[in-house]
Amino acid sequence: MTNVVPPIEKNEYYDVVFEDLTHDGAGVAKVDGFPIFVANALPGEKAKIKIIKVKKGYGFGRLMELYEQSPERIDAPCPIYKQCGGCQLQHLSYHGQLEHKHKHVKEVLARIGKVDVSKVAVHPTLGMKDPWNYRNKAQVPVGEREGGLIAGFYQKRSHEIIDMERCLIQHSENDEMVQAVKNICSQYGIRAYDEKAHKGWLRHIMVRHGYVTKETMLVFITRTNDFPNKKSILTQITEKFPNVKSIVQNINPKRTNVIFGDETKVLWGSEYIYDYIGNIKFAISARSFYQVNPEQTKVLYEKALEYAHLTGEETVIDAYCGIGTISLFLAQKAKQVFGVEIVPEAIEDAKRNAQLNGINNVEFAVGEAEQVIPAWYEQGIRADVVVVDPPRKGCDESLLGTILDMKPKKVVYVSCNPATLARDIAVLEQGGYETKEVQPVDMFPHTMHVECCSLLVRKDK
């Protein structure tokens, strides 16, 4: 078999029209059907590009000249947008972002899930009124430059830290606190962790902010257990930030790029801060999983509640319940909710959150959903509605089999990855379910991510 020679050459120039965007926001153009990925390009644009790398089945190019701009192109407001890997779509208007995400969800459902999108309602993406400063958690690595500390995000495809004063998608108080901690620690000669030498003390600074309560938690992630000049540093921080309710130290002595270590201790204040999504109150510790955009989480979970269409008589199973976020929303309208999650700490948080809200019609179990749910079934538990909110890899194959065996009337599928959603919908449809509607929700403006809430109903046999 002869090797196919790519129709492009490195360092050559080509005139192209961009057709689409990749999962990391690069424009996709084709030369004789051969795909080329180019940063900072948008669908519909005509441009001259220079080829910078050629692989067997695709190439990479650099944008040299734009002949025809997209009407949705804007100047990215962030000064470090092109260096930082945090956002991918700031050069696309917010209206354009919402339209692209809607189109992407429809295409993926049709191509991978074989969903007939001419008959299934795939609604326009639900966006934010103000799509900036929405992230309630800042988690930034710390480094050193010219004798002082720097803190910011990693440069694209590198471990070089870009020193950053503000991030336009982080809550502004988180930015202020990161800067203050960096400056105060610099005053006391605190050394940043050096991953090559495995020396130094401060690895990461993490700040969590209560969207509704305004309560703030600060976490120092350090290599060793000690805390140089602790009293002076904590006094300065608490005097400067009256909303701080918790200061915590997490110790991570390992050579690893995993952020957290196993040991966490409270240095000042409480172990938790509190926040609300809708009218449900959540206790958030340093290591709790908690949605980073509570405003849009409320939009997403209200849609899940609407699709479940509960009357107060139903039994509901939440198959990836985490800290109980969706379970507690559903419990307000259901007869009984059962939540299962593989992470023991998340289940402890879920039970605590149920108690915090006085919700008694919910039961949580630790384990793999595909093992726990059949055991519940054997105990006589029959779900009218199953809700799944899996990680990016989608539902476990055996869990989908369990759902098909259980035959609930409805499956409400909350997804953070349209491709695995489409794959799993195909399995559920083959097993006797019909997709009724899909609602994309923009949980992370200015990035390529899109969440979806989908309703599948069992066909009458």
Known catalytic residue: 78?
Answer: no
The phi, psi pair for 336, rounded to 5°, reads: -150, 140
**Dist. CA 10–CA 15, nearest whole Å:** 14
Contact 361, 330 (CB under 8 A): no
The phi, psi pair for 248, rounded to 5°, reads: -130, 150
- Nearest CA-CA partner of 100 in 168, 167, 19, 174: 19
- Nearest CA-CA partner of 51 in 18, 9, 20, 16: 9
Catalytic choice (87, 185, 416, 452): 416
* 308-338 CB burial, b ≥16 within 10 A, e <16: bebeeebbbbbbbbbbbbbbbbbbbebebbb
**Dist. CA 6–CA 349, nearest whole Å:** 54
Contact 126, 94 (CB under 8 A): no
**Dist. CA 105–CA 422, nearest whole Å:** 9
Using CA of residue 44, residue 46, residue 47, residue 49, what is the dihedral sign?
positive
**Dist. CA 297–CA 289, nearest whole Å:** 13
Cα separation values, 145 from 53, 122, 148, 150, Å: 32, 49, 5, 7
Cα separation values, 151 from 86, 111, 148, 255, 429, Å: 14, 42, 10, 20, 48
So which residues are the catalytic ones?
416
